[in-house]
Amino acid sequence: MKRRDWLKISAITSIGLAFAKNTLAKTAIHYNRKYPFSKKDFGNEFIWGAACAAYQVEGAWNVDGKGASIWDTFTHKKRKIHNHDNGDQACDFYQNYKNDIALAASLNLDVFRFSISWSRIFPTGKNTINTKGVQFYHQVIATCKKQGIEPWITLYHWDLPQELQDEGGWTNRKILHWFEEYVDFCTKEYGDVVKNWMVMNEPAAFVGLGYMLGYHAPGKKGPFNFLKATHHACLAMADGGRIIRKNIKDANVGTTFSCSPVEPYKNKTNNRKAVQRIDTLINRLYIEPSLGLGYPYDGFPALRRIENYFEEGDLERLKFDFDFIGLQNYFRIVGKKAIWPPLVWAKEVPASKRNVPKNEMDFEIYPEGMYEILKQFGQYDGIKNIIITENGVCFKDEIVNGKIHDEERIQFFKDYLQNILKAKKEGVPVNGYFVWSLTDNFEWSEGYEPRFGLIYVDFETQKRYVKDSGYWFQEMLQD
């Protein structure tokens, strides 16, 4: 996630085993026992986890037969990446996965959410299978099970194989067939063991930033790219859901969406109309087709141009009854009318210009926004279950005598979880919370500077340090 990226979206759319479980249990320090809630308040069925994504943590970008992804290509060109960073090594999860999963289990988490790298399974995106890549994810899954933590898999977390992008990527309707083959293989390969699946991660982000503005991989621009990629992504989400359900008995099928409460600046009439357009693009565009509501032309009439890319049966094909949806919230958007860009005629007013609490990336820290977005999505009839599949915060973490005292992050979690609990008590079907992220990692165009993890990573030595916030979760989640 990146705040400047989201400003641009709203403008157009808007090691060691020494840290393993037993050792941590012995060395954990009690941090601020005065919780505003307890684990029991959320209920026995509420699940707790931490998340990551393949490109952001795995490294080993060209090891053991892996093919290049669009993020390998994009970062190697040093385009738009802070400090010219890349994910070639990242957290080296490819080598450190056993230690990292043991750490997750030591923090009393129920779930480890990770993604499969499409180009590690299919180096060219199709046809040829890389058996070493396939085996790697078997090992990750087996390690989760051994540690007593449930693996939840995201099938697409932005790292499209480069050879598919060379043929147009998400703007080429053939992507639907390529994606079906990939999902079919993964679910048949791992579905006997893994029952919880997410089709995609944040389509608004990878489409808007990658195919409209060019700030993320693959660096394409233009409204026609945006509309085509949007339609194909929405179709692929539904197609992927159907394949998972067909291939895996008792599968729990979901997909994830980035979302932000959107409010007008100074509550003026023109600003209210502007934020309606932003809300449509940020919060409605990718969820409503799957619910059978079609694309939200009422909030943004210019979207009707997407029908230029329809084929017969597409409106019905967009629908899929997900078992759950993942919501991912980091900040709210405060918007106003603007003379640029055309069609949207709206822009965000940054947190830095509103004198509000913010994190290192200029995300506004607004816990009430979590409650507001849950209430907003809870109004949809077709949503049966909600999991917060990402939420977290970055601050300037410093190691002091081998420890990271991140009290601000602990307070962030307390405040956001309190608002989740409030929504849950009011009937919103929210039944899980996954921290972004388990470890510090490569944060896309922001590189390695922002640190979101419960676990600090020294990227030079690859040594891990559990932060106070990690110990806070360990204690709060203990039985």
* 446 is annotated as an active-site residue: no
Residue of 202, 372, 443, 446 with catalytic role: 202
| Tens digits of residue pLDDT in 288-330 | 999 999 999 999 999 999 999 999 999 999 999 999 999 999 9
Sequence-separated (6 or more) residues with CB below 8 Å from residue 291: 319, 380, 381, 382, 383
| Tens digits of residue pLDDT in 180-237 | 999 999 999 999 999 999 999 999 999 999 999 899 999 999 999 999 999 999 999 9
Residue of 263, 288, 390, 443 with catalytic role: 390
Stated pTM of the model: 0.94
**Domains observed in the chain:** 3-476 (3.20.20.80)
Instruction: State the pLDDT at residue 344.
Output: 84
Instruction: State the pLDDT at residue 341.
Output: 76
* 202 is annotated as an active-site residue: yes
Could you state, in chain order, the average pLDDT of each consecutive group of 10 residues for the chain (479 residues)? 42 35 40 73 98 98 98 88 96 98 98 99 97 99 98 99 98 98 98 98 97 94 95 99 98 98 94 95 97 97 97 98 98 94 87 96 96 98 98 97 97 98 98 98 97 98 98 95
